[in-house]
Amino acid sequence: MEKENKRLAVLVGCNYPNTRNELHGCINDVLTMRDTLVNRFGFDPNRIELLTDDGSASVLPTGANIKKALDAMVDQAEPGDVLYFHYSGHGTRIPSLKPGRPFRQDEAIVPCDFNLITDVDFRQLVNRLPKGASFTILSDSCHSGGLIDREKEQIGPSHVTTEISGTLSVSYSKTKAIPFESILEHLTSLTGISTSDIATHLLELFAADASLKFRLPLLELNFFESLKPDDEGILLSGCQADETSADMMTPVITGGKACGAFSNAIEMVLKKHESPLSNREVVTLARVVLKEQGIEQHPCLYCNDENANATFLCQLAARNSSL
């Protein structure tokens, strides 16, 4: 009998409760997506790992725990498997560490303990995939465009879409960004070290659990950043690298719940279109939803040409009969 391919997921929602960075909709985002993965895309609930910071999950979304979960998912991947990572929380940009690139900014997500996970970490995960396995990352966070280092832009800053007037306003909105200066201030308060070098603080606090970007020499870092010929990374980002993403409250007429604007747009697109959609179609339609809501952010798609037109999460048409 032919072996069935695995569908594996890691879902991370960070609300940062009782802090000045508190958000409200991120945990709702991943709980909703968990149901969607099971009911629409055929994921086994036992193969979905959930990390949240509200005390309801058994594992907190620290930097080390998120990377451990992602490493475990990639380690068990085989050809044909479908891997999915959904992150909803704060994002940030940090100055590039590479000489000669003083104005370049690199992207990172901000776990609940501020142990940043960077674009280099995601590139390294994608590079470890066995040939034939796919890894889709949906990041509903600020500055998330380009979160897989060197992935090819399919829909992004150079992509032009038809302008649509906003028709459905939201009652609450907060950006999901923590400025680099605030990250540095927080880490400095923990280390007590007087330096603007973020690597020094992260290595002092997290040692071997810090991002590869801060632990590896530049020559070795270049090796980890390199692309594989059969690269299977797929990034759906909530916004462009120079933009912010919104944490919002949907209007009462559409449910009145706190959520990430991009995560909510994805759910709206999937509910409206029951048949399988390509990755390109999902991002394009999500852009339309956000524009109609008057939300100024532009979701992006980064992947190779083949995956741009591949079906989002390899949905099978036969599954629609059970919806």
Count of CB atoms situated within 10 Å of the CB of 14: 29
Q: Over its length of 323 residues, how does the chain's per-residue pLDDT go in tens digits?
A: 457 889 999 999 999 999 999 999 999 999 999 999 999 999 999 999 999 999 988 899 999 999 999 999 999 999 999 999 999 999 999 987 665 555 578 899 999 999 999 999 999 999 999 999 999 999 999 999 989 988 899 998 865 444 444 444 555 568 898 999 999 999 999 999 999 999 999 999 999 999 999 988 765 666 655 666 668 899 999 999 999 999 998 765 456 789 999 999 999 999 999 999 999 999 999 999 999 999 999 999 999 999 999 999 998 764 443 33
Phi/psi of residue 118, nearest 5 degrees:
-105, 175
Q: What pLDDT does residue 223 have? A: 61
Residue with tokens 């594996």: 8
Residue 317: the pLDDT is 66
pLDDT for position 203? 96
Domain ranges of the chain: 7-322
d(CA 246, CA 24): 11
7-322 folds as: Rossmann fold (3.40.50)
- pLDDT score of 119: 93
The owner of tokens 């998912």 is: 73
pLDDT at res. 251: 67
- Asked if 237 contacts 144 with a C-beta cutoff of 8 angstroms, the reply is yes
Residue 303: burial class (beta carbons within 10 Å; 0-12, 13-18, 19+): buried
Q: Which residues are catalytic?
A: 90, 142
d(CA 211, CA 141): 18
Looking at residue 254, what is its pLDDT? Answer: 53
Which pLDDT score, from 0 to 100, does residue 158 have? 67
Q: What CA–CA distance (Å, rounded) separates 180 from 197? A: 11
User: What is the pLDDT at residue 281?
Assistant: 98
Instruction: Please report the pLDDT score of residue 319 as a whole number.
Output: 43
- Beta bridge partners, 10, equal 49, 85
Report the pLDDT value the prediction gives residue 95, as an integer from 0 to 100.
86
Please give the backbone phi and psi of residue 214, each rounded to the nearest 5 degrees, phi first.
-100, -10
Q: Encode 69-93: b = buried (16+ Cβ within 10 Å), e = exposed.
A: bbeebbeebeeebbbbbbbbbbbbb
CA distance readout (Å), 65 to 182, 223, 270, 288, 299: 23, 25, 29, 35, 27
Helix (H/G/I), strand (E/B), else coil: 103? coil
What pLDDT sits at residue 96?
78
DSSP string covering 228-293, please?
PTT--EEEEESS-TTS--EEEE--GGGT--EEEHHHHHHHHHHHH--S--BHHHHHHHHHHHHHHT
